[in-house]
Amino acid sequence: MVLDKGRSKASVLINPVASRLGFLDPNIITALSLVLSFIFALLFYLRFLLFSFVVLLVSAYLDALDGAVARIFNKTSLKGDFLDHLFDRYVDLIILLAMAISFYGNIYFGTIAIAGTFLTSYVGTQAQAIGLKRLYGGFPGRADRLVIIMIAILVQIFTGKIYGFYITAWVLLFLGIAGIINSVYRSAVVYRSIS
């Protein structure tokens, strides 16, 4: 995950806010991120692109914030970890599906994007299931994917079709192919790690 290398820099924006939220259950923040993904989906589908961008930005911020609150206030738990990863998959599905069925998307490219995203995530969690560390490596990781989608939304506001498809559709295809390649890469890493 390329953007994972910048986590320490991102913590400058996250930790000061997280340090003031000790009264909150991190799972509430996680759930709020899921709710915002539904709002994003509706706004994007209705072509309110700028508003959908803002909502997705806030949702992504909350996704990072919940873990920071849990760590700072020692509220980490297996249930929280489970819900965080589960809700991440729901959010991924909602975002990609909304883009795929929207005016700007393509259902076939969207199907590939969903497959690539879920295969990548599956390999990461399967590594943990067989006793290895959870694997986050390769490109694109979740943070990479969200940033790419946010950039695509901003570009989509100012562009029309490119070679017959909107930038949203092309990004879905890219994320799908890159995700499938990353799932193969992760699979190779996991397989080599099994003794």
Q: List the domains of the chain with CATH numbers.
A: 2-193 (1.20.120.1760)
Mean pLDDT lowest among 50-59, 76-85, 154-163, 168-177: 76-85
pLDDT surpasses 80 at 9 = no
Q: What is the mean pLDDT of the chain?
A: 93
- What average pLDDT does this structure show over 173-189? 97
Amino acid at position 47, single letter: R
- What average pLDDT does this structure show over 54-64? 96
Nearest to 118 by CA among 153, 98, 101, 94: 94
pLDDT of residue 5: 56
**How many Cα neighbours within 13 Å face the side chain of 152?**
25
Percent of the chain's residues with pLDDT above 90 = 82
pLDDT, tens only, 131-151:
888 888 899 999 999 999 999
- What average pLDDT does this structure show over 54-59? 97
pLDDT of residue 7: 56
- Peptide bond between residue 140 and the one before it cis (omega within 30 degrees of 0): yes
Q: Which residues of 99-127 are buried (b: 16+ CB within 10 A; e: fewer)?
A: bbebebbbeebbebbbebbbbbbebbeeb
pLDDT surpasses 60 at 8 = no
Mean pLDDT lowest among 3-7, 42-46, 91-95, 181-185: 3-7
Identify the top-confidence range among 2-6, 20-24, 81-85, 107-111: 107-111
